[in-house]
Every structure is written in C-alpha cells, then in structure tokens.
Amino acid sequence: MLSATLIDDWGLAPLGELERRDLLEVLEDRYGRRATLVTSQLPVEHWHDVIGDPTFGDAILDRLVHHAHRLTLKGQSMRRQAGGPTETKESGKKTATKKGK
C-alpha cells in the first residue's frame, strides 16, 4: 500500500458511477491508516456536485474531511504571477500574461 496518495486538481469533471465506487474503495482502504492529499480549485462545499450521488458523496467526503487538515490558499495563481501561459475558460486557448498583471 502506498504511504501517501495525491489527488491533484480534484473536481475538474463530474465522477461517473464506476469512478465514484473506485474512489470510495480506495478511500475506505486508506482511512485512518495512510495519508491522502487532495488539491482542488473547487471549494469543498461544491464537492458533492462533482461526486454526483448524495449517498456516495456523504461516504467519500466523510472519509476525506474527517481528521483533515485544510489549507486554503488565497491570491493569484503562481502560474499567472510567473507570466507563463494560461488557459481562458471561454476559448480554451493559451495566452501569455505579464508578471504583475
């Protein structure tokens, strides 16, 4: 078993039935025994919507948030601050931004 699991960019797309079941199984196996780290731009209060099923949502979130340590970061993206390419929501095209803008 892995000592730590990272779920990066959680909530980018809704979960399907099989994905919900697989995620719950992984979290059940790890609960109370191993670390699970989650990164997301989506606020926790919207995670039920991504899971898509109230019963699975309660079960998954119970295992994720019970005994959790939450860090909420504020401010602009580090990518934007560095002036790297970013994607616009409307077009999906990458554009360069200047540092500090």
H helix runs in the chain, sequence order = 17-30, 47-51, 54-65, 78-82
Local structure of residue 87 (DSSP, 8 states):
E
Which is it for the CA torsion 44, 49, 55, 56, positive or negative? negative
**Are 65 and 44 contacting, i.e. CB atoms less than 8 angstroms apart?**
yes
> What is the spatial distance between Cα 95 and Cα 24, in angstroms, rounded to a whole number?
37
Name residue, tokens 């560095």.
82
> What is the spatial distance between Cα 19 and Cα 53, in angstroms, rounded to a whole number?
11
pLDDT at 2: 59
pLDDT at 77: 76
- Going residue by residue through the chain, which has 101 residues, state the pLDDT in tens, using 9 for 90 and above: 558 999 999 999 999 999 999 999 999 999 988 899 999 989 989 999 999 999 999 999 999 888 888 888 888 877 777 775 555 555 555 554 444 44
The ranges assigned to domains in the chain are 4-70, 77-101
Whether the model clears a pTM of 0.85, i.e. scores above it, the answer is no
> What is the spatial distance between Cα 51 and Cα 64, in angstroms, rounded to a whole number?
13
pLDDT at 67: 85
pLDDT at 98: 46
